[in-house]
Structure 1
């Protein structure tokens, strides 16, 4: 988690629905994701909160006697491959399951927590150890290793914390996905197994390796309960003027878009609301590993507000071990500690701030299955008479700042574009020239914002000299000269934007020139 610390379940109608969705997409790919995804789904299952607990950390953290009601659920971390036996599960590489029972009283402490109304999930992986799926190359032995942990602790939810070298191990990813899918398929109905995958995130969302990991799990038939983004240690992806409360919001919005696309590509279209239930957030409380990044209680409240507004399915934190003010003897507050937050919390707990509104339980959540949510594409046909902006047209060109309507949503062009579908499912924001602004609102009418730039300005002529500020049209796009030029085609702008004497106008600039 931190640099410091160690068969898909199908509902009866699911196969038929998925097949129908796949046929529809193949027959009319231009319809895109939103032609199949219902925007009004009512996701089932209560969202849950569980903080991570570093089981092997010193001093030992008493998760079995939580300091607040919010901390009654815990994600115990981390199960990794035993250094002496790649197919033997261990806690952090230090304790076998038996020695953890004897030396840490782990089994007894889990039982005590459950007697007090709490529960535990178990996290496999982490940054420092070798996740079983990567270390154990025999699938039968790997299945036995996972099963040994699941059965011993009677858990309904596992967490696959994949980071570092684990994400680059494609063979391990395939093996892990195959075995997990088989374990899910073999589970009896009264003992479901929820699988969350926890991945590093920047303010732009999951990494390419992270999205590949999710795609591999889905392709092998794993019914993922969700994708948990590690909203921490942002480094260079966070601008200095972006707070540690706002940075996780950016990361989660990007992750939501990526998760939507991943399920769409897997042939399982889901509504926006349902996708949010499959997104989790895990901030690192207090001082992060990146010096200067401090996630305080106000940031926790901001993240919680956003999570409740969107309907996130899970909230966690790294870690319950750290949810307290450091003692007076800990003076290196600019470096993250594994036993305190590094900030003055007073009598408040991060668990309380982050858990507000997350009243679900691990077991209830595990009983939920994923089902496609296709809708009739005809229900998303755009009506120009009720659209505030022109309906997107494949043959039209759009300047930066142009707004269009597509599938009942409003989009704005980030740069000049033509032929790029506004709701084309992409994993990264930079892959699309469109920004989703939101849905068309009830009662909206057309707004006359169209300016015929091509008709306003003269066509560029190669032999003509142009002064700084002159505006011409080339292939239907208006350009302004940055300096005196002759013979330099505006077409060269795309290959050499700095060296070109031309710059394409935005829709706002064209509108201003057209104003009386």
Structure 2
């Protein structure tokens, strides 16, 4: 990390070796000097025909220095919401949540996919609660900024201080330990935004170190079968020269569009990874640091697009996934991700000989979560899904749920819950997977069966009771005991509007939610936790 106030300009097209006036900056003695590097190049040039190219790809037979880490991507804003915190839906322990981008209404304000503010995602998507639940179960998140769509913060926000504040806000709110910078499209060559991003990331990373909290940074970049683009290499160099402690470079092994009628996606991916390995070996040498081959592999990640890619002819199969996993283990690849957990299922219906491009299914024949299970077995993952299944919130059976401090209705044995309904039970928020009644959300399912409830996450000690929202106005008559009300009559009860479903006498409207189907009064209001109906 550097203490420089101004970052070094990023120049992806600049090659110091081709510049006769370029001089190696002064480096600590422990680093490889330029004179020693030149001598070593000459020696290797005499040894083999590979010349400097062979030197860049310096081999070390000591074996892998890292255990590959599985961290699949989840598209946070995609409908239906993917329950990444639920081990039955996500075999991986860690996930990369994407994508944070600039708010369309305020360029320097971070948003989720341009659709939700941070607070909006917390309320409407239960994002903060689900992250908390994942962590309580032994997993963690990587926060991914950028992506192909929308405007990345550093591109949209031209005010350096406000951009740095935005990064700081994200890292503080989500207590981020790993940051993923997904730079695609024109952003890869946007030098002004690259410099702003470097300054912001270096600043917040340094602040976290001072606070005793490490911030790991990955770059995610497009790749060809030959490796990174020239602009991509420039992005990496700019990060390193700008004082960012870069953990590694994750390359998107997808969408090669090389013209093959039946491309071998595994072969293309391994070629891309090998090309990136050579480029990073060379880059670190140019900056005065000699890394062995295993050390470089540990700084590289791979992210395939599972199943059908955006290019019609390209399909990344389960066999390809298994081959990539073997390569990752054999070489000590630092990271393996995939796009995305949302897509790890077979498309419904019949799609024989038809290309299917979908955000919610893979477009190939597979069992649900088949790709996830391949990569979740990588040895570098945190405690696995079996451990997550056994994790319980302490003393939850002894927790008394107070309706005044529960953000959703407290679960009731007799109530009928439709799919998507949220409840609180023993201090935990659950969501119904399908219509059910009398199924204890906290109870373990019988062997060979699935539970009717998804765990969303724990109730915060500062939360309050849900506030019903009336859907009509103008009701003024207050319900009174002893009176007969005709069908269609509207009344207020405890300040909320109801409508009689049939003639009723001396039956007060219910305040237990959800209201039973046989209750004579229909609520004319909505309760947080109820799924939206069209």
TM-score, structure 2 normalization: 0.61
Tell me what 1:161 maps to. 182
Deviation string for 1:154-182 (max 9, x for gaps)?
11101110110111201111111122122
Q: State whether residues 249 and 299 of structure 2, in contact with CA within 8 Å, keep that contact through their aligned partners in structure 1.
A: yes
Structure with greater Cα Rg: 2
Alignment of 1:206-245 (within 5 A): 206-236=228-258, 239-240=260-261, 242-245=263-266
The residue aligned with 2:491 is none
Partner secondary structure for residue 33 of structure 2:
helix
The structural deviation recorded for 1:136 is 1.3
Moved more, 330-339 or 179-188: 330-339
Shift of 1:241: 5.7
Partner of 2:312: 291
Q: Distance in 2 between matches of 1:361 and 1:21?
A: 38
Cα distance between partner residues in 1 of 2:290 and 2:155: 30
Instruction: Tell me the equivalent position of 2:415.
Output: none
Shift of 1:58: 1.1
1:25 matched residue in structure 2 = 37
**Structure 1's 262 and 330: CA in aligned 2 closer, same or farther, altered over 3 A?**
same
Q: Which has the higher helix share?
A: 1
Per-residue deviation, 1:330: 7.2
Equivalent pair of 2:347/2:361 in contact (CA under 8 Å):
yes
Q: SS in structure 2 opposite 1:16?
A: coil
CA positional deviation for 1:329: 7.3
* Structure 2 counterparts to residues 9-408 of structure 1, below 5 A: 16-19=28-31, 21-22=33-34, 24-25=36-37, 30=42, 34=55, 39=60, 46-67=67-88, 70-188=91-209, 190-236=212-258, 239-240=260-261, 242-328=263-349, 334-347=355-368, 349-361=370-382
Runs of 5+ unmatched residues, structure 2: 4-25, 44-51, 384-534
Contact 1:38 1:271 in 2 (8 A): yes
Query: Once the 2 structures are TM-superposed, how far is the Cα of residue 316 of structure 1 from its aligned partner?
Result: 0.1
Q: 2:35 and 2:381 mapped to 1: Cα distance?
A: 36
The aligned residue for residue 384 of structure 1 is none
Q: Return the offset for 1:233.
A: 0.9
Question: Contact 2:41–2:55 at 8 Å: present in 1 too?
Answer: no
Q: C-alpha distance in 2, partners of 1:232/1:161?
A: 14
**2:345, 2:366 within 8 Å by CA — same for their partners in 1?**
yes
Change (3 A) 1:95 1:141: same
Per the TM alignment, residue 36 of structure 1 is displaced from its structure 2 partner at its CA by 11
CA distance in 2 between counterparts of 1:109 and 1:162 reads 26
The two structures have a TM-score, normalised by structure 1, of 0.63
Equivalent in the alignment of 1:411 = none
Aligned-residue offset at 1:357: 2.4
SS in structure 2 at match of 1:160: strand
**Shift in Å at residue 318 of structure 1?**
0.1
Two-structure CA RMSD over aligned residues (Å): 2.7
> How has the CA–CA distance of structure 1 residues 61 and 36 changed in structure 2, closer, same or farther, with 3 Å as cutoff?
closer
Deviation at 1:295, TM superposition (A): 0.8
Change beyond 3 A, Cα 1:191–1:344: same
Check whether the contact 2:91–2:376 (CA below 8 A) recurs between aligned residues. yes
**Equivalenced residues, count:** 351
Using the alignment, how far apart are the partners of 2:253 and 2:135 within structure 1?
29
Q: Is the 8 A contact 1:18 1:267 kept in 2?
A: no
Question: Structure 1: which 5+ residue stretches go unaligned?
Answer: 1-6, 363-516
Task: Check 1:248–1:95 CA distance in 2 against 1; reply closer, same or farther (3 A cut).
Answer: same
**Would the alpha carbon gap of residues 36 and 101 (structure 1) be closer, same or farther in structure 2, given more than 3 Å must change?**
closer
Structure 1 residue 126: Cα displacement = 0.4
Post-superposition Cα deviations, 1:358-399, rounded to whole Å, max 9, x if no partner, equal 43349xxxxxxxxxxxxxxxxxxxxxxxxxxxxxxxxxxxxx
Shift of the alpha carbon at 1:35? 9.2
Displacement of 1:143: 1.1
Aligned equivalents of 2:79, 2:317: Cα separation in 1: 24
